[in-house]
Amino acid sequence: MALQAASLVPAAFSIPKEGRSGVSLRDSSLLGISFPDHLKIDFSSSTLRSKRGFKQRVGAVRAQTIATTTPAVNRAAPEGKKTLRKGSVIVTGASSGLGLATAKALAETGKWHVIMACRDFLKAERAAKSAGIAKENYNIMHLDLASLDSVRQFVDNFRRSGRPLDVLVCNAAVYYPTAKEPTFTAEGFEQSVGTNHLGHFLLSRLLLDDLNKSDYPSRRLIIVGSITGNTNTLAGNVPPKANLGDLRGLAGGLNGLNSSSMIDGADFDGAKAYKDSKVCNMLTMQEFHRRYHEETGITFASLYPGCIATTGLFREHIPLFRTLFPPFQKYITKGYVSEDEAGERLAQVVSDPSLTKSGVYWSWNRASASFENQLSQEASDTQKARKVWEISEKLVGLA
């Protein structure tokens, strides 16, 4: 089978070029790292760092990204102030998996107060308790991303709480790989794109103002992406592949009535809808960067945290898949990462003082060192990013 052959011959397999980046099945590409031939690998600079303490600098892998360094507008901590106040970070979907592990990692540093933005209050409370997150380091606020009213209500409630907003992490997601028919959000958008993309789109557009008001030295907006939305990787080539097409379904409102429930206008496919939603997440991050980074100094970032094969994301998958997927990722693709480790990675993107570069899609290599990864052609298409932004604005009532 292709996969086994691949793991036996890791050195030089590559499948057809897609734009400027091919799918390279080298050793590292199994982790989602594709190294097209023209890519410079520079081990003398300092972007890679070890997972522990974000301190140990190892070397750097440079990829082509749209990133720029944080400009001077990024306010420094007030003169003479020795101890920085606690950071205030909102994490959506912090009731399980990556979101919970990130909340835990941040809370444990003692430097962050985590606002867990969750649709199920009791579940979130139980999760925080069993993860051992200290009371003074978190609070839970209700947010259902599958309802735009709920998103607006959340923003109002957050503002009323009087807390500053220093970092926003758009992490929550749903995945319906076995669904035969689409389901819909409160406003009638197909559930996966409606929740993962449109809910977060409205949330982050509204909260941009709040981030901009913060006096914290490094303000960040992070949207979790994924390898499976990137067709320049092996994982992104497992069918069904992400493809936004000409956005006709999105423009029609994804309602399955007078428009398709899929962004590209095709028949419903739950696995594809999830991957498409991740492409939207990664495009949105870059569009934010282009529109607002220079003006505000806010860092916009996305990431692929690794394959966290044990999370609730796969709850709708068939039991056989849920049994085989973790060992498959652990022993065959070697792309597996534990929830704790993935939480440490996302926590780095939230708070590591050296990860302030904006416009970056972060990934980690086998030594768990971060590097700037390259997005697929579609996930870095500036025209598409602009169109997705403009259509999404209309759908969520911002334009």
Give the residue closest to ligand LMG by C-beta: 2
Using the rule CB under 6 A, is 252 a contact of ligand PMR? no
Residue 30 binding target from ligand LMG, ligand NDP, ligand PMR, none, CB below 5 to 8 Å by type: ligand PMR
Cα gap 337→308, rounded to integer Å: 5
Residue 375's nearest CA partner among 66, 69, 68, 169 is 66
Residue 34 binding target from ligand PMR, ligand LMG, ligand NDP, none, CB below 5 to 8 Å by type: none
Using the rule CB under 6 A, is 226 a contact of ligand NDP? yes
- Whether the CB-CB separation of 102 and 343 falls below 8 Å is answered with yes
Residue 15 binding target from ligand NDP, ligand LMG, ligand PMR, none, CB below 5 to 8 Å by type: ligand LMG
Check residue 113 and give left, alpha or beta (phi > 0: left; psi -120 to 50: alpha): beta
10 Å CB burial of residue 312 (0-12, 13-18, 19+) is: middle
Amino acid present at 207 = L
- The residue within the footprint of ligand PMR, chosen from 87, 335, 343, 359 (CB under 6 A), is 335
The DSSP symbol for 93 reads T
Cα gap 390→399, rounded to integer Å: 8
Using the rule CB under 6 A, is 285 a contact of ligand NDP? no
Closest separation between CB of residue 359 and ligand PMR, Å?
Answer: 21
Amino acid present at 317 = H
* Helical H segments across 86-142, by residue range: 97-108, 121-131
Cα gap 264→229, rounded to integer Å: 14
Residue 229's nearest CA partner among 344, 358, 384 is 384
Closest separation between CB of residue 253 and ligand NDP, Å?
Answer: 18
Closest separation between CB of residue 228 and ligand PMR, Å?
Answer: 3
Residue 324 binding target from ligand PMR, ligand NDP, ligand LMG, none, CB below 5 to 8 Å by type: ligand LMG
Q: Which of 67/235 has CB closer to ligand PMR?
A: 235
Using the rule CB under 6 A, is 145 a contact of ligand NDP? yes
Closest separation between CB of residue 175 and ligand PMR, Å?
Answer: 6
Closest separation between CB of residue 8 and ligand LMG, Å?
Answer: 8
Residue 5 binding target from ligand NDP, ligand PMR, ligand LMG, none, CB below 5 to 8 Å by type: ligand LMG
Residues that bind ligand LMG (CB under 6 A): 1-6, 9, 13, 15, 177, 234, 237-239, 271, 321, 324-325, 328, 332
If you write DSSP's letter for every residue of 250-300 in order, what string do you get? HHTTS-SSSS-SSTTS----HHHHHHHHHHHHHHHHHHHHHHHHHHH--EE
Q: Which of 46/178 has CB closer to ligand PMR?
A: 178
Using the rule CB under 6 A, is 361 a contact of ligand PMR? no
Give me the 93-132 binding string for ligand NDP, x by CB under 6 A, dash otherwise: x-xxxxx------------------xxx--x---------
Residue 159's nearest CA partner among 121, 78, 202, 213 is 213
Cα gap 274→229, rounded to integer Å: 8
Structure tokens that stand for 335 in this block: 């792309």
Neighbours of 206 (CB within 10 A): 18
Residue 174 binding target from ligand NDP, ligand PMR, ligand LMG, none, CB below 5 to 8 Å by type: ligand NDP
Residue 380 binding target from ligand LMG, ligand NDP, ligand PMR, none, CB below 5 to 8 Å by type: none
Using the rule CB under 6 A, is 227 a contact of ligand PMR? yes
Using the rule CB under 6 A, is 202 a contact of ligand NDP? no
- Whether the CB-CB separation of 116 and 154 falls below 8 Å is answered with no
Rg (CA), the chain: 20
Cα gap 367→334, rounded to integer Å: 12
- Binding positions for ligand NDP, rule: CB under 6 A: 92-93, 95-99, 118-120, 123, 143-146, 171-174, 195, 224, 226, 304-305, 307-309, 311-313
- Binding positions for ligand PMR, rule: CB under 6 A: 3, 30, 32, 175, 177, 226-228, 234-235, 238, 271, 274-275, 307, 333, 335
